[in-house]
Structure 1
Amino acid sequence: MKSRQPPPPKLRIVVATTIVPPGEHDDAALAAQVRRGNALRIGLLEAGYDLVASLPADMFLPERIAQLQPDLIIIDAESDARDVLEHIVITSRDERRPIVLFTEDDTTSSMEAAMAAGVSAYIVAGLKAERIKPVLGVALARFRQEQKLLDELADTRHKLAERKVVERAKGVLMAHQQLTEEQAFQKLRSMAMNKKLKLSEIAQRILDVEDLLG
């Protein structure tokens, strides 16, 4: 009889809400924010997500995000979201996370600024409980695809860097020991096997010694 697999952990979400500025329409703005907040909570609950915290999008947001370590960040910015973006840039600088921004701001400049800041999905006039699950699903899929491409790019760059190190080390051996390119490569391989190191690691050691000796 097959054992049951444990259910996947719930996605941990933090909601960052823009601060309503003081002014003549405080009551109406606060009421609208409460309605949007309720729609978010209902949508997250119905989708089975774990709402870890709801935070003001202020200067302390990056520190709180670092402490909570959520899987995804939702920004609820009814109007101008540009004030939030600088905090989001700091938040996602050290560790990338999917970020979904719900707003009523449909200007192209705001959208471009948000995407440049690392926002995965910019949703205009879409903060309704029934839309939360599909919107987050698309944002997560897009983020994972982007992360996969970034990882592949980083891996390619790493391999190219290792290849350059090996080529330089071969050149050192060829110059100092009058070896052919093939002989230098075989010597590198033999040294790496004897030391139980990667080819690039033994090559870097040779280069380090070369630098020390001048």
Structure 2
Amino acid sequence: MRNLRIVVVNTIIAAGEEDDLVLQGQAARAEALRVGLLEAGYDIVASLPADMYLPERIAQLQPDMIIIDAESDARDVLEHIVMATRDERRPIVMFTQSEDTASMDAAMAAGVTAYIVAGLQSERIKPVLNVALARFKQEQKLLSELHDTRHKLAERKVIERAKGLLMARHQLSEDLAYQKLRNLAMNKNLKLSEVAQRLLDVEDLLG
């Protein structure tokens, strides 16, 4: 099994101001994260700034997971992450110093899988990412099941409408109308819902 391919998105401000204690702290956090990921055996494919080009870069790199290293307010980062993962969801883990509830809510609403406050010790990184990945897979499974259920309900509704149409037009019983739909589907090598939708489309055209 190959290692997870990870893109790290950081909010570290421009270099050249290392005398600033805040920037030094950010740089130290970024280094601790990098070391922890490498020690855990992950493949860091890129470390990117949270700018307008982020969605395009993530689309090109196709990482398995996105990690956000944010000191505090990460609203701009989240906006870019939302755009970058809008069409293809990925697990997102956010390491931050902010304990603000509003920031946490905003992160979760943006699609962040795990929101980790403080304590960026390298030995914690692997278990945190494992949990985030497992949670993401479970969420995707539930979303897929929900989508399938909605699709089946929509198909059933179409079949019921087509069956009602046949019953009214040909004075058929419900069973005979259903059998007629089944025979049409078998003869045309189509799904029952597809035949039903075609009947409804024709009815709409003819008025």
TM interval, shorter chain, is over 0.9
Structure 1 unmatched runs, 5+: 1-7
Which residue number corresponds to residue 197 of structure 1? 190
2:25 maps to which of 22, 25, 32: 32
- Matching of residue 94 in structure 1 with residue 87 in structure 2: yes
Deviation at 1:26, TM superposition (A): 5.9
- Matching of residue 57 in structure 1 with residue 46 in structure 2: no
Counterparts of 1:116-155 in structure 2 under 5 Å?
Answer: 116-155=109-148
Deviation at 1:25, TM superposition (A): 7.4
1:46 maps to which of 39, 42, 47: 39
Tell me, what secondary structure is at the counterpart of 1:94? coil
Q: Cα gap change, 1:146/1:26 in structure 2, threshold over 3 Å: closer, same or farther?
A: farther
Runs of 4+ in structure 1 deviating by more than 3 angstroms, as ranges, are: 24-27
Cα distance between partner residues in 2 of 1:59 and 1:27 = 26
- Matching of residue 175 in structure 1 with residue 165 in structure 2: no
Cα distance between partner residues in 2 of 1:136 and 1:125 = 15
Tell me, what secondary structure is at the counterpart of 2:135? helix
Tell me, what secondary structure is at the counterpart of 1:38? helix
Cα distance between partner residues in 2 of 1:69 and 1:185 = 47
Q: Cα gap change, 1:26/1:213 in structure 2, threshold over 3 Å: closer, same or farther?
A: farther
AA aligned to 1:167 is: E
For normalisation by structure 1, the TM-score amounts to 0.91
Which residue number corresponds to residue 105 of structure 1? 98
AA aligned to 1:70 is: P
My pick for the range that moved more, 68-77 or 126-135, is 126-135
Tell me, what secondary structure is at the counterpart of 2:48? strand
Asked if 1 retains the 8 angstrom alpha-carbon contact of 2:73 and 2:98, the reply is: yes
Deviation at 1:68, TM superposition (A): 1.0
Q: Percent identity?
A: 75
Structure 2 unmatched runs, 5+: none
Cα distance between partner residues in 2 of 1:210 and 1:70 = 48
Tell me, what secondary structure is at the counterpart of 1:97? coil
Deviation at 1:174, TM superposition (A): 1.0
Asked if 1 retains the 8 angstrom alpha-carbon contact of 2:6 and 2:67, the reply is: yes
Cα distance between partner residues in 1 of 2:175 and 2:69 = 61
Asked if 1 retains the 8 angstrom alpha-carbon contact of 2:7 and 2:45, the reply is: yes
Q: How many residues align?
A: 207
Cα distance between partner residues in 2 of 1:27 and 1:205 = 68
2:2 maps to which of 6, 9, 20: 9
Tell me, what secondary structure is at the counterpart of 1:175? helix
Tell me, what secondary structure is at the counterpart of 1:122? strand
Deviation at 1:88, TM superposition (A): 1.5
Tell me, what secondary structure is at the counterpart of 2:112? coil
AA aligned to 1:166 is: I
- Matching of residue 160 in structure 1 with residue 135 in structure 2: no
1:74 maps to which of 57, 67, 71: 67
For normalisation by structure 2, the TM-score amounts to 0.94
Cα distance between partner residues in 1 of 2:119 and 2:134 = 18
Tell me, what secondary structure is at the counterpart of 2:85? helix
AA aligned to 2:174 is: E
